[in-house]
Chain A
């Protein structure tokens, strides 16, 4: 029974990683930029949700939607201000800018509210129910269903809508897409908007589930989500979902085996191994880069 319980724990953690990883992977897939500020958008989402629920007394779902909308706007602003003019610059310049944006967001938040943590308000009474001796809280069910719903919605957007089609085209070949009359700038903005909205949602979910939020909370989950994205194959949406879930479960198993102090190390070992053994990730095809 203990193992089923551990699996439940791992999936709950993994679904949050997966939500953040989706944004990473989408942005990378389209403009080949590792957006290190993504973890901080996640943090901003958590704080927007916190203020919406605790100060403005909003309903959880409204708070979630508000956080997603505001994070989408923030994501677009970040792209327009910091990344757009670097689109033709070297990859390393864009990467360093991303780190700079990340630090800017973190310390701006610390400047305005200090670095001490806040506790998320209790949004619904947690009731536990047992299946075969496994305790599952209504919270984790709700969180899991919201995560899965958002992932399905994303798949729908990418595969069934016009903007999704444009995103796939830009990802494949931006110049050719431009020739075919696709507005590349708007498509990239839409990608940032969708990715950041998902990060914002993950922030709110994280706050509800783990209670504690602080301005530097995005750093580690951000890196973990990046690992999840690489694990699944960076640029591939189902890969990010699977990568996130796998990472969550692996971390839980490492703790369950009694090596709780090694769980963060385990994530990085996975990153190193995947880069050595299969750099294109679980779902990646071994495509050669054009010369």
Chain B
């Protein structure tokens, strides 16, 4: 009896060891074949898969869904025109819930499971930044439509993130344009800055704005900050009012800016207010009210009121599909797809993530909706910015500023 049970015991121990070894061996082989080993995803079959890692819910859902709508329109147009060398484009969209961690997970999913050859990165700089490592690891280029922080493509030590690109200009540029507009066009002398302290985007804009204002001979009379998700800005605004600025720069996102503009006007701050592309959302008008937004300006990537013929053609196509005028995020999403597709068309031989990356970096004088651009050594497009003014809740084209 005892002998038998001993046998059983050893037998099961043996089985367990065998299973464990097998499992470990399985792990080993998996690692060898996984794409993290070095080679990038490549196109196989008749479809070219492009991923879209977007904010479709959460705090900045309006940006992500706008980029997604623009991208969808571009994909439809390209497929209707025969695709790329007869291959259709398939856009695989994943919601990153406006969160950094979700954005990383979504990027891994797109690279690993869906095997995309390129992807649209999240709309905001912070979320886009969370996917840069994944792009480098899987050698799949990412293109963000509206991630404007410099460190998305260039690290703090000056090295370029090989696989990260964008179709928008970077934050410091917008801050500079805003400062030049304030001093030269509006004649502002004493300016106040009220920046979102929780985002790199707003801090980058505030810094370059301040630098240019001072270079232009203006004075920064007040520099205040808020944190995203705040709702009560009255006490700080009262402070700003006490300093009598003739211009207030408010870099931030629409969710808070809408409330800031409303509360500023309630407190009797009647001077021009200005922001950047983070203001661009219909929700801003709901939050602030059309009247409070009069005498406010933003720098942006494009204006649907721009008389340019190719822009008007895009506006018509967009209105035909979505029954509304496209905003800058729609245009950037649309441009991002054309930017990627242009690079894929120029690839000689196998369409792999690496080949696309090389072509993206080599893009020159590509004419898109948000401007004609050339990719510089830091993977930033060199192109013009547009200044828009809010008039009774509508954005009106004010002027175009070249870099």
Q: Report A's interface with B, CB cutoff 8 A.
A: 2, 5-6, 9-10, 12-13, 114-119, 122, 126, 128, 135, 137, 206, 210-212, 217, 220, 251-253, 255-256, 258, 260-261, 264
Chain A interface mostly: helix
How far, in Å, is A112 (CB) from chain B's closest CB? 12
Q: How far is the CA of A256 from the CA of B197 in the complex (A)?
A: 17
Given contacts A115-B57, A119-B258, 17 further A-B contacts (CB under 8 A): A2-B241, A6-B235, A12-B234, A114-B61, A115-B59, A115-B97, A116-B58, A116-B61, A117-B255, A119-B283, A119-B286, A119-B287, A128-B266, A212-B258, A252-B232, A256-B238, A260-B226
Q: How far is the CA of A202 from the CA of B235 in the complex (A)?
A: 21
How far, in Å, is A23 (CB) from chain B's closest CB? 20
- Which residues of chain B have C-beta atoms less than 8 A from A9's C-beta? 232, 234-235, 238
Q: How far is the CA of A118 from the CA of B258 in the complex (A)?
A: 12
Q: How far is the CA of A115 from the CA of B65 in the complex (A)?
A: 14
Query: B225 within 8 Å of A by Cβ?
Result: yes
Contact B57 A114 (CB under 8 A): yes
Contact with A along B147-165 (1 / 0, CB 8 A): 0000000000000000000
Pick the contact of B258 from A13, A211, A251, A256 — CB < 8 Å? A211
Within 8 A of A (CB), among B252-299: 255, 258-259, 262, 266-268, 283, 286-287, 289
Within 8 A of A (CB), among B122-159: none
Pick the contact of B224 from A211, A258, A264 — CB < 8 Å? A258
Q: How far is the CA of A111 from the CA of B84 in the complex (A)?
A: 39
- Which residues of chain A have C-beta atoms less than 8 A from B231's C-beta? 206, 210, 212, 217
Contact A211 B255 (CB under 8 A): no
- Which residues of chain A have C-beta atoms less than 8 A from B104's C-beta? none
How far, in Å, is A244 (CB) from chain B's closest CB? 14
Within 8 A of A (CB), among B37-67: 57-59, 61-62
Q: How far is the CA of A137 from the CA of B289 in the complex (A)?
A: 15
Pick the contact of A126 from B197, B227, B266 — CB < 8 Å? B266
Assuming the contacts A2-B238, A6-B238, A117-B255, asked whether A137 and B266 have C-beta atoms less than 8 A apart, the reply is yes
How far, in Å, is A50 (CB) from chain B's closest CB? 12
Contact with A along B228-257 (1 / 0, CB 8 A): 010110111011011000000000000100
- Which residues of chain A have C-beta atoms less than 8 A from B255's C-beta? 117, 212
- Which residues of chain A have C-beta atoms less than 8 A from B59's C-beta? 115-117
Q: How far is the CA of A122 from the CA of B241 in the complex (A)?
A: 25
A221 closest partner in B (C-beta): B231
How far, in Å, is B149 (CB) from chain A's closest CB? 20
How far, in Å, is A140 (CB) from chain B's closest CB? 9
Contact B239 A261 (CB under 8 A): no
How far, in Å, is B221 (CB) from chain A's closest CB? 13
- Which residues of chain A have C-beta atoms less than 8 A from B267's C-beta? 5, 135
- Which residues of chain B have C-beta atoms less than 8 A from A212's C-beta? 231, 255, 258-259, 287
Q: How far is the CA of A122 from the CA of B291 in the complex (A)?
A: 12
Q: How far is the CA of A261 from the CA of B203 in the complex (A)?
A: 14
Q: How far is the CA of A251 from the CA of B235 in the complex (A)?
A: 9
Contact B283 A258 (CB under 8 A): no
How far, in Å, is B279 (CB) from chain A's closest CB? 14
Q: How far is the CA of A135 from the CA of B235 in the complex (A)?
A: 12
Contact B57 A116 (CB under 8 A): yes
Contact A260 B236 (CB under 8 A): yes
How far, in Å, is B343 (CB) from chain A's closest CB? 33
How far, in Å, is A55 (CB) from chain B's closest CB? 14
A139 closest partner in B (C-beta): B266
- Which residues of chain A have C-beta atoms less than 8 A from B232's C-beta? 9, 13, 210, 251-252
Contact with A along B59-81 (1 / 0, CB 8 A): 10110000000000000000000
Within 8 A of A (CB), among B69-118: 97-98
Contact B262 A211 (CB under 8 A): yes
Q: How far is the CA of A260 from the CA of B227 in the complex (A)?
A: 9
How far, in Å, is B145 (CB) from chain A's closest CB? 19
A140 closest partner in B (C-beta): B266
A220 closest partner in B (C-beta): B229
- Which residues of chain A have C-beta atoms less than 8 A from B57's C-beta? 114-116
B242 closest partner in A (C-beta): A2
Q: How far is the CA of A237 from the CA of B61 in the complex (A)?
A: 41
How far, in Å, is A219 (CB) from chain B's closest CB? 9
Q: How far is the CA of A6 from the CA of B255 in the complex (A)?
A: 23
| 27 residue pairs A–B, Cβ–Cβ below 8 Å | A5-B238, A6-B235, A6-B238, A9-B232, A9-B234, A9-B235, A12-B234, A13-B234, A115-B57, A115-B97, A116-B58, A116-B283, A117-B255, A117-B283, A118-B286, A119-B287, A122-B289, A128-B268, A135-B266, A135-B267, A210-B231, A211-B287, A252-B235, A255-B236, A256-B238, A256-B239, A258-B239
